[in-house]
Chains A and B, each alone.
Chain A
């Protein structure tokens, strides 16, 4: 069925978007990371490798961590998407305990890959609140961090899991 509109729910707000090739429309070839960054102004997800290898653009879609550079926006109709901007409590602006744990463990350096790493970790903890170290590493195997904050990230996720118990 041909569809000319899609609805995305991003961080709890729904957005109706038109599909097409004209100005302001979502081209059928457009990736989700582009829509999030350019149309919705959510620049936390970073477009880095643009071929699904580095995880810098990771968001959570219907509970799964996905590289948003590998998803076409037109495929996202009816999906629930959470980006790094959606982790804070919308009322109080309190940080998610996982974000706080990244601060407490200084689990970042340049911070470019951090939103993606946090979103991957968040999806893991939602599905598996008590991951062991191997499960944390496995979940993050698709996230590239070149400053090498991996040791601190693993500590941060472990601590967030522990505090969540």
Chain B
């Protein structure tokens, strides 16, 4: 029983890290209809930027925010230069997707040329190990859980309680109608890419803080989990991505605890495949409008 409860705790931590990135990935798609596979490269870039601050003994949590902001700005620039431009010129979904794949590869090569092929290790302050109700977590892991939940709640408030949120939902439903209603669609899309970049940057650093050691394949490795989480919950749906992240995190940890750890990944993808077979639109997916998808309703 203890092992089960402890594993739940570890699964929640893993799930929160995955969910953070999965929500960002989902937001990009939900608002701009772009499946940005270069997202993984931005995760890697965030980890390296975080590392640069880490070696300078920058506060690890402050570096999460700073790198998040930097990636947010880069994300907007990237969208304006590539996916957004392609979409404006009438490129289709698949064309844009392929463009993001190759942009991701190109940027990753640049990162590797600069950073080198060897793994980097963060100097991490995990804080104290706390035990309560059979949960064994460090204060650092509690901060990760708290921050992830707070960010997701903040995103919920943004979507449901603010003018920007309403504008984002309207844009996602029909950009043409939104524009004719006076909504500055291009600015709204910029805002969406900024928010998703922020989440991406933050999750990249949190990922590296969690794994401690990382290499250039960090983003690509975890993008697969994030895609799994996003698809599980219903791609384009932030709440779905949150739940998907937790499911993937819990599944991998439970399999690690009770079966051969070598099958952790397999378990996550078996669940994903089963979900797609039973409910291809994902857990939260409906035939409803994209605004509902965004609002999670």
Q: Are A and B subunits of one complex?
A: no
Residues of chain B touching chain A, judged by Cβ–Cβ distance below 8 Å, are: none
